[in-house]
Structure 1
Amino acid sequence: MLHLRLIVPADRTDEVVELLERTVGATHLAVLTGAARSPAGDLVLCDVAREAGDELIDALRGLGIDRSGSITAENMELTLSAHADEAERRAPGAGADAVLWEELTEVTHEESTFSATYVAFLGVAMMLAACGVMLDNVILIVGAMAVGPEFGPLAGISTALVQRAPRLVATSLWALVGGFAAAMVLTAGFVRLMDALGLFTARMVTAERPNTTFIWHPDQVSFVVALLAGIAGTLSLTSAKSGALIGVAISVTTVPAAANASVAFSYQDLPQAWGASAQLLANLGGIVLAGTLTLLVQKALWSVRRRRDPAVRPDPSV
């Protein structure tokens, strides 16, 4: 269930209440007259089944409530109510399949912002991966994959392409390209520092690394894994099952490949650097492609469902 908190201008309250009453899956409706001060208006509260949430939010935006008041939606972890159970039963579709496009756009926008914290996480992840490459240590590689925050901008690009939001595309691309560039420079500096301290040597790069050689030897399977990870990651975002993101993070070699490229460039091992770069591009491209296609399929399926069985009933007065 979703909990909606609306600030509505007093002269629009009856219209909003009527809309909520026509929405299949909405319940627990409450109106606090004159409770809002900034912006001034009435406070309208209700709960709605997730599968009806996107259509209802679209209708509220169509009334201009996002401009004249506010629309706040929160996921509810626990609701003990027979009315809520009945609302979810009546709502068309399944909550796990529902996509809240406004929520997805907002989340991916927040995760796609180029910031010092984002670069720090990505830089630390690459430094961990660089240690894993030099020591041929798979545990460090897996740890670096889990720390890396790069799925946010990748999901942001896919969402922006599907929603036709060029500004979000630009923001996500900047976070992705700028973030990787900055983190790779930091990693190269880290490698030189470790070399000066005698902890890294050129021989460690050229030595046989049976556990981590796959990082700079991309093949067709690498791209297939990236596609599968992109599908799983996108589904985890749209269905609010975020636990799957950890599995996505440790299944693709974006961060290790970038780290391997930085290490190889630092020691002028160009074949290895180009191989790692190719691995990086294959993974990034595969995730974006799979994420975009997954969202397009979800959008098409949900549009068919909404036309067949709309959650918001037509206004009888129209």
Structure 2
Amino acid sequence: MLHLRVVCPPERTTAVVDLLKAQPGATHLIVLPGVAVAPEGDVVEADVAREAADEVIEQLCAIDLDHLGAITVEQIDTAVSDAADEAMAAAPGEGADAVVWQELLTRTGEESRLNGTFLGFITIACLLAGVAVVTDSTVTLVGAMVVGPEFGPLAAMAVGMVRRRWDLVSRAAVALAVGFPVAMLITAGGTLLAQAGGLLDVNAVRSADNLDFVYDVGVFSLIVALLAGAAGMLSMTSSKSAALVGVFISVTTIPAAGYAAVAAVLGEWQRCLYSFGQLVVNLIGVVLAAGFVLLVRKRTWTSQDNGRPLSTG
């Protein structure tokens, strides 16, 4: 279930209430007249089955409440109610299969922003990958995969291209185009410092073979990237968010970036080039597979979101 809160002008309250009463997937309807201050108006609240949420949001936007008031949606973890059970049973489809498209746009728009937090995470992840290369540690490499924030912009690019939201595509592209080079340059600098301080055994790094798969780019690299991208987008468009951790661990974007940075410092240009190729293959594969999943689920589109500005908060 999702909790829906609508702030609306008093003259639109009756229409909102009638709309929610007519929706079999909505329940726990509450009307609070005149309590909203900014913007002024009434507040209408209801709990809505996930599979009915996209239709409800579309209907609310059709009466301009996204402009005249506000529509907010949040996840309900637990709802102990016969009325809630009846609403979920009455709503068509399964909640895990339902896509709330406005929620997806908002989420990917937020996760694709280039900011200090994104740069911090991608830099730390790349540094961890560099340490993994230097120490030949697969455990540290897995840690780098989990910390990496790159799936957010990749998912945003897929959503933006499929839904023709070029503002979302450009935002995500900027985050990736700036984030990876910055992280790789800092990792290269850290490698140089480690080498100067005697912490880096060049011969040991060159002879290590536990992480050879990072720069061993090939057909299976693309297959894994495609499967990970599909799983990641399925997770983001459903209520199965726990699957994202597996996606992070299976994609070798961050490891490839870290390996390329270390290999460049060591003068291992072939490994550097192969690692960069691995990075490109993974980036493209994830976006293609995520976009394909969205195209398959295109039949569930309802809300018209084209042209709606992304959140900058």
TM-score range, shorter chain: over 0.9
Superposed displacement of residue 206, structure 1: 2.3
Q: Quote the Cα distance in structure 1 between the aligned partners of 2:106 and 2:128.
A: 30
Kindly provide the amino acid, as one letter, of the partner of residue 103 in structure 1: E
**What is aligned with 1:268?**
267
Q: Is the 8 A contact 2:29 2:45 kept in 1?
A: yes
Kindly provide the amino acid, as one letter, of the partner of residue 231 in structure 1: A
1:22 and 2:16 are equivalent in the alignment: no
SS of the equivalent of 2:189 reads: helix
Superposed displacement of residue 162, structure 1: 1.5
TM-score by length of structure 2 reads 0.94
**What is aligned with 1:312?**
none
Q: Quote the Cα distance in structure 2 between the aligned partners of 1:201 and 1:119.
A: 29
Instruction: For 1:105-184, list aligned pairs within 5 A.
Output: 105-184=105-184
Q: Quote the Cα distance in structure 1 between the aligned partners of 2:250 and 2:134.
A: 20
**What is aligned with 1:245?**
244
Superposed displacement of residue 58, structure 1: 0.9
CA offsets per residue over residues 127-164 of structure 1, 9 Å max, x none? 11111112211111111111111111001101111221
Q: Is the 8 A contact 1:205 1:264 kept in 2?
A: no
Between stretches 169-178 and 130-139, larger displacement belongs to 130-139
Q: How many residues end up aligned between the 2 structures?
A: 302
**What is aligned with 1:98?**
98
Q: Quote the Cα distance in structure 2 between the aligned partners of 1:256 and 1:296.
A: 29
Q: Quote the Cα distance in structure 1 between the aligned partners of 2:175 and 2:243.
A: 23
Q: Quote the Cα distance in structure 1 between the aligned partners of 2:14 and 2:116.
A: 46
TM-score by length of structure 1 reads 0.93
**What is aligned with 1:223?**
222
SS of the equivalent of 2:250 reads: coil
Superposed displacement of residue 123, structure 1: 0.9
Superposed displacement of residue 69, structure 1: 0.6
1:285 and 2:284 are equivalent in the alignment: yes
Q: Quote the Cα distance in structure 2 between the aligned partners of 1:119 and 1:240.
A: 28
Q: Quote the Cα distance in structure 2 between the aligned partners of 1:296 and 1:120.
A: 33
Q: Quote the Cα distance in structure 1 between the aligned partners of 2:28 and 2:101.
A: 23
Superposed displacement of residue 201, structure 1: 3.6
**What is aligned with 2:308?**
none
Q: Quote the Cα distance in structure 2 between the aligned partners of 1:102 and 1:115.
A: 22
Q: Is the 8 A contact 2:135 2:205 kept in 1?
A: no
CA offsets per residue over residues 145-201 of structure 1, 9 Å max, x none? 111111110011011112211111000001111100110111011101111111114
CA offsets per residue over residues 192-228 of structure 1, 9 Å max, x none? 1111111114323422x22101111111011100101
Superposed displacement of residue 36, structure 1: 1.1
Q: Is the 8 A contact 1:9 1:41 kept in 2?
A: yes
Kindly provide the amino acid, as one letter, of the partner of residue 259 in structure 2: N
SS of the equivalent of 2:239 reads: coil
Structure 1, gaps ≥5 residues long: 307-318
Kindly provide the amino acid, as one letter, of the partner of residue 291 in structure 2: T
Q: Quote the Cα distance in structure 2 between the aligned partners of 1:243 and 1:200.
A: 37
Q: Is the 8 A contact 2:137 2:210 kept in 1?
A: yes
Q: Is the 8 A contact 1:161 1:292 kept in 2?
A: yes
**What is aligned with 1:88?**
88
SS of the equivalent of 1:43 reads: strand
Q: Is the 8 A contact 2:156 2:168 kept in 1?
A: yes
CA offsets per residue over residues 100-143 of structure 1, 9 Å max, x none? 11111111111111111111111111111111112211111111
Q: Quote the Cα distance in structure 1 between the aligned partners of 2:265 and 2:62.
A: 55
Instruction: For 1:14-93, list aligned pairs within 5 A.
Output: 14-93=14-93
Structure 2, gaps ≥5 residues long: 303-313
Q: Is the 8 A contact 2:146 2:248 kept in 1?
A: yes
**What is aligned with 2:194?**
194
**What is aligned with 2:311?**
none
Q: Quote the Cα distance in structure 2 between the aligned partners of 1:84 and 1:242.
A: 22
Q: Is the 8 A contact 2:95 2:239 kept in 1?
A: no
**What is aligned with 2:254?**
255
Superposed displacement of residue 48, structure 1: 0.8
Kindly provide the amino acid, as one letter, of the partner of residue 252 in structure 1: V
Between stretches 186-195 and 196-205, larger displacement belongs to 196-205
Superposed displacement of residue 52, structure 1: 0.3
Q: Quote the Cα distance in structure 2 between the aligned partners of 1:106 and 1:204.
A: 46
Superposed displacement of residue 288, structure 1: 0.4
Superposed displacement of residue 21, structure 1: 1.4
1:232 and 2:231 are equivalent in the alignment: yes
